[in-house]
Chains A and B, each alone.
Chain A
Amino acid sequence: MSQHRKVYGLGAEFNSAADLMHAAEKIRDAGFAKWDVHTPFPVHGMDKAMGLGKSWLSAAVFCGGFTGALTGISLTTIPSFFLYPMIVDGKPYSWPTVPAFFPIIFELTVLFSAFTALFTLLLLNQLPKWYHPVFNWDRFKRATDDGFFLVIEARDAKFSESRTKALMEEIGGQNVTLIHD
């Protein structure tokens, strides 16, 4: 049955986070691009071992926050200073009153930043996703328990069923398995 289905990639299991990290360094140096590691907990230094650059998330959040601040400034100052200037509570309707608007500007900055962070994160991670081929691999369930996994996707230019499998076994991978879509 399985040989008729498309190959998703190759998965290998490792004994510990340290083993997986060393393996990741080797895969990185071998020049693979479409691959990932899966661990039950965050591993410090893994991003460097995998050769990942700095995330784009902060740039997106900065833009979101900046837009939020501008929105807050516009929504408070334009009506209060220009459209409907009114004296409220004895305070003038000009720039010295700006402190009264700070909470609004601040809240909108935070709100826009938070939403940008959440939605960019979902977008970058391609979430939500109802199905993922790695779960066709039975052993992979242990990724949330005590398993350390490395998966190389078949769409990687360097991927070859036999040679990649040999490489994964050479760097210490156990139960190297072909995963089908």
Chain B
Amino acid sequence: MSHSTESPNLSVERFDSGVAKKFSSMCFAASVVGLLVSAIGLFTSREQFAFSWLFGFMFVLTLCVGCLFWTILHSATDSEWGILVRRQMENVASVIPYLSVFFLPLILFCAPILWKWWDLPPGQDALLDNKAAFLNHNFFWVRYVAYFLGLGGFAVALRSTSMAQDEDGASRHTFRLRKLAIGGLPVMAVCLTFAAVDWLMGLDYHWFSTMWGVYIFAGAAGSSMALLVLIITGLKKAGYLKAVNLEHYHIMGKFMLAFTVFWAYIAYSQYMLIWYANIPEETIYFKIRNTEGWHALTTILVLGRFFIPFPILLFQGTKKNPKFLCAVACWIIAMQLLDHYIIVLPSLHQTGVSPSVYDFASVLAVAGAAAGFFFRRLASANIFPNRDPRLSGSVALTN
């Protein structure tokens, strides 16, 4: 049924700024602890620090870019279901510009450690010489700037357009959001793909996989939907977003299920093609990760990212049970953490798992800061776009 002519009859909700300040300073304090420990690592064991930091950074970046993807998808497809929850995706995505600072120490201090091509003179490796047009210092810097301009620019533009609608309720903002989103879709795809190639695939410049970008994207989209479920549930617990009901949970659960399957599909396809073709240049990636201590973690990842959540999320009852869905969401985010651990750290510890305090410190530093910025964003805007012309459709959602 169409309700587009009825007025939503929902009052404006604004997150308590005192509580937000308290939360964000707690998060920043945690981040400072992580930063201090990481700083010790930077000076005492730079190798370990470099890989740990890249791991923590990519985990947080993928969560934020995933939320940017959901924001873009929502507007590009003219969706109505998620207008109530859209602002939270926008809030998470708008943390991306801050993250650019967290990547700087890697380029400034650790580039030759992480990316072996960085200091290799021409003529040493024919493979690298052929890739030199892409893998060189200047272009690497240009790309770093371009990624954050592209991703961060669209995140900020989408959020500010959406917030402008809170002021006047004009429908032109909806059309502008749609245009921005359709423009942002290819930009986001290209930025995330090439960032994944530059920063993660570049850990071994011999290795390549044509599915790498979409693999990183699949994990990002699924885990950021899980993050959204947690944020929405948290806000509901705090007494906000009463209009969000089980129908919204059902849809968010469906997206989690879809991207659980999509991740498995992409991860399997990548593995299958490399395993079957059996070319040493390509198999090295899985050879390291499927032997020694890494094999156990890889097995846990395959079971935990697909075989456990899939049958659970398959049933409507679990998707319509917020408590249960939150547990699954936590699990999926933990698996995203494990995924990026397995992507980054084996490049350093090729002979087996070797956890380090800097692994935890980097996650604490980057995730803490991101959460701190998120709480600031949360308090600086209405909790949902209360004057979106189609808000009532989202409130009266049935699916």
What residues make up the interface of A, taking CB atoms closer than 8 Å to B?
17-18, 21, 43-45, 48, 54, 58, 62, 89-90, 99-100, 102
Contact = CB atoms under 8 A, between A and B. Distances in A.
A58 B316 contact: yes
A45 B1 contact: yes
A92 to B, nearest CB: 12
12 contacts: A17-B1, A43-B1, A45-B1, A45-B398, A48-B398, A54-B316, A89-B276, A90-B278, A99-B272, A100-B272, A100-B276, A102-B268
Nearest to A102: B268
Given A45-B398, A54-B316, A58-B316, A21 B272 contact: no
A39 B272 CA distance: 48
B316 to A, nearest CB: 7
Given A89-B276, A90-B278, A99-B275, A62 B314 contact: yes
Contacts of B268: 99, 102
A1 to B, nearest CB: 42
Interface string B359-399: 00000000000000000000000000000000000000010
Contacts of B314: 62
A44 B272 CA distance: 43
Given A45-B398, A62-B314, A100-B276, 4 more contacts: A17-B1, A18-B1, A43-B1, A99-B271
Label chain B's interface by main secondary structure.
helix
8 closest Cβ contacts across the A-B interface? A44-B1, A45-B1, A99-B272, A44-B398, A45-B398, A102-B268, A99-B275, A99-B271
A21 B398 CA distance: 15
Contacts of A102: 268, 272
A17 B1 CA distance: 9
Contacts of A58: 316
Interface residues of B, number: 10
Contacts of B278: 89-90
Contacts of B271: 99
Interface string B256-283: 0000000000001001100110100000
B378 to A, nearest CB: 32
Contacts of A54: 316
A87 to B, nearest CB: 13
B273 to A, nearest CB: 10
A88 to B, nearest CB: 11
Nearest to B314: A62
A124 B163 CA distance: 49
Contacts of A45: 1, 398
Contacts of B275: 99
Interface string B1-43: 1000000000000000000000000000000000000000000
Contacts of B316: 54, 58
A14 to B, nearest CB: 15
Contacts of A21: 1
A89 B1 CA distance: 58
Nearest to B271: A99
Nearest to A100: B276
Nearest to B278: A90
B275 to A, nearest CB: 6
A100 B278 CA distance: 13
Nearest to B397: A44
B181 to A, nearest CB: 25
A90 B279 CA distance: 13
Contacts of B272: 99-100, 102
A58 B272 CA distance: 31
Nearest to B275: A99
A100 B273 CA distance: 10
